[in-house]
Amino acid sequence: MKVTKITADTLRVPLGKPTRIPLTDPKPTGPNAVDVVLVQLETDVGIAGVGFTYLLGAGAAAVRSLIESELSPLVLGEDPRDTEKLFAKAEAHFRVAGFAGLAARAYSALDVALWDTKAKAAELPLFKLLGNARPAASFFVSDLGMGGRDPAEVVKAAKPLMKQGATGVRIEMGSGDVQADAERVREISDGLGDDAWVGVAADSRFDLGTAQALAHFFEDIGVDWFEDPIPAADEIGYAKLAGLMETPLAVGSGVGSREAFLRVIRAGHVRTIRPDLCRLGGITPFLKLASVAEAFHVSVSPVRMPEVGVHLACGLGMVPHVDSVSWLKDVFVGGPKIEGGKLVPSADAGLGLTVNADSAKWRV
């Protein structure tokens, strides 16, 4: 089996109602669209694969250009099942310029398409090819608490999903007003109730003193994890945070290399790492990282991309749940569904995704 054709498209998918910072700024904040770079891969035996990467902000045109001009020639004519070989080839190609960054984000779309093709060739859903650890996975919701959305809106939108099985909500901080952000977290936590899981993500925005103060506050109100409070490279800071708080620390949503994750894992201060498949370079490097994390008894929680994340959570034992967003629900036909209070991957071979013909209206 050989790859005979690779096509790339860019979609700008609207995210719906703009978010608002309560109390401080009446202007809309946060992204109002997500750029999705789609890759469709064809082979000489009629098996086709689909992959994608996403960007919140600039860079989609550069990512697509890298796919078309630099990466596709590395994959054309190759066996799509040779995921290790092709990933090594891509890393080597960018060794001088550096693979982390846009090159990794571009290759992630190709890598996902290769794994989709590989699983289809094996006539298995991807989660079964990866190991079939469980038939369904618990999930939390990440797109409701973005960018300062009003607490009452978050609670109202989250409760129906929690009735279906969502464990809770991941809330993003970063309005510039720490006190207002903390109050927003408290209001959402109170509104969801004691049984709801609440995670807080800070995108490494705080200094150690601020993070320590927030850690005490979050323990008082029952927050279940604190994600990226300070930069991942601050090992001393994370050691101090881990020593004073019981709330689990999660690190890595902005980390773009396996080496940086390995330093975080070896330091031993966090219970969960948060790799973003798009930043890391796809499923292949994620699997390498997950094996190391398991050896250190660290859980792995992939950022967003539930269309792929559900296969990772159901395929691998060290991935405990799915980070769910609804951004791409109209881009694809198929994908994960909520059944029995859990997120269930498609039983179709591969990812179980087909590009929705109607998504062409978002092509840019």
Collect contacts of 256-259 with beta carbons under 8 A, ≥24 apart.
Answer: 256/100, 256/101, 256/104, 256/280, 257/99, 257/100, 258/285, 258/288, 258/289
pLDDT at 148: 67
Whether 91 and 114 map to the same domain: the answer is: yes
Q: pLDDT digits over 345-362, tens only?
A: 999 999 999 999 999 999
Contacts of 94 (CB under 8 A, 6+ apart): 70, 103
Q: What is the mean pLDDT of residues 176-204?
A: 93
Indicate the pLDDT class of residue 16, thresholds 50, 70 and 90: low
Does residue 364 sit within a domain? Answer: no
pLDDT of 235 > 80? The answer is yes
pLDDT at 244: 87
Lowest mean pLDDT among 12-16, 41-45, 103-107: 12-16
Indicate the pLDDT class of residue 20, thresholds 50, 70 and 90: very low
pLDDT at 341: 94
pLDDT at 24: 40
Mean pLDDT of the chain: 92
pLDDT at 174: 81
* Residue owning tokens 């071979």: 349
pLDDT of 19 > 50? The answer is no
Does residue 362 sit within a domain? Answer: no
Write down which residue in 69, 95, 123 finishes a domain: 123
Q: What is the mean pLDDT of residues 194-218?
A: 93
Instruction: Tell me the residue range of the domain where 163 lies.
Output: 128-356
Q: pLDDT digits over 335-345, tens only?
A: 999 999 999 99
Whether 200 and 346 map to the same domain: the answer is: yes
pLDDT of 23 > 50? The answer is no
CATH number of the domain where residue 85 is located: 3.30.390.10
Whether 199 and 345 map to the same domain: the answer is: yes
Does residue 269 sit within a domain? Answer: yes
Whether 134 and 11 map to the same domain: the answer is: no
Q: Within 10 Å of residue 163's Cβ, how many Cβ atoms?
A: 9
Give me 120's structure tokens.
């289809």
pLDDT at 30: 55
Give me 327's structure tokens.
């951004």
Does residue 361 sit within a domain? Answer: no
Write down which residue in 95, 123, 151 finishes a domain: 123
pLDDT of 97 > 60? The answer is yes
pLDDT of 317 > 90? The answer is yes
Does residue 316 sit within a domain? Answer: yes
Instruction: Report yes or no: 254 and 202 within 8 Å, Cβ to Cβ.
Output: no
CATH number of the domain where residue 232 is located: 3.20.20.120
Whether 233 and 118 map to the same domain: the answer is: no
Q: What is the mean pLDDT of residues 134-155?
A: 90
At residue 363, φ and ψ (nearest 5 deg) are: -65, 135
pLDDT of 165 > 50? The answer is yes
In the chain, % of residues over pLDDT 70: 95
Write down which residue in 66, 94, 123 finishes a domain: 123
Q: What is the mean pLDDT of residues 307-313?
A: 98
Q: pLDDT digits over 24-82, tens only?
A: 444 444 568 999 999 999 999 999 999 999 999 889 999 999 999 999 999 999 999 99
How many domains, in total, are found in the chain?
Answer: 2
Smallest Cα–Cα separation from 328: which of 275, 278, 283? 278
Q: pLDDT digits over 256-302, tens only?
A: 899 999 999 999 899 999 999 999 999 999 999 999 999 999 999 99
